[in-house]
Amino acid sequence: MSRAKYVERPSRVTWDPKAQYPLYYVPAFPLALLRYRDLEEKDPLGHDWRSALMADIQARGLKCPLLVCNHQSMRNAGGSLLYPDLAMLLNKPWHLRVGRNRRWALEKLQAKTAPCIVTGHIDALDVEAELITTPERLLELWPDGHMSVDRDMVHVYGKCDPTAYEYPA
């Protein structure tokens, strides 16, 4: 059985009051609606630390929500002319911005929904949602790493490092 070490670190949130989009917390976002670039079974270095992440999620639950973008300036994020993100061609407006490894682990655990922070309007979804109106509330929901809500884009950095996990034998 793989063991996971999780390093608790202080997080911080900065929020531009001129942000052009709303933020919502959706406790049970349907994973089937997400657009994302799929991952290999092992990371590019050949480590299988995602199994440790999966075991940690199974034991403790998902501690940090996924970040899903639906506002216009973020819909086209994730690709370039030289290396296009082929998943962008799918007819799904919900772009998984942060949390591909967690989504992979949830898929392996056969989860159908996950807690998500969603940018942009969610009128098309029939889900329970909470409008996030203060940086303090966002900080309560985002316990891992730093999030910067800018005028047109959300930036996340300082997330949990895979080296904080013990690789399974």
pTM of the model: 0.78
Structure-block tokens of residue 41: 């079974």
Question: What range does the domain containing 152 cover?
Answer: 12-164
For the chain, the domain total comes to 1
Q: Residue 86 sits in a domain of what CATH number? A: 3.90.1530.10
Token pair in block for residue 22: 């709303």
What is the residue-level pLDDT of the chain in tens, covering all 169 positions? Answer: 445 455 556 678 889 988 888 999 999 999 999 887 777 666 667 667 788 888 888 988 898 899 998 865 554 455 444 445 444 455 567 888 888 889 989 999 999 999 999 998 888 889 999 999 999 999 899 887 888 898 888 888 866 554 454 444 3
Residue 4 lies in a domain: no
- Do residues 110 and 1 make contact, with C-beta atoms less than 8 angstroms apart? no
Structure tokens at 97: 């911005």
Helix (H, G, I), strand (E, B) or coil at 118: strand
The answer to whether position 49 is within a domain reads yes
Q: Residue 131: inside a domain, yes or no?
A: yes
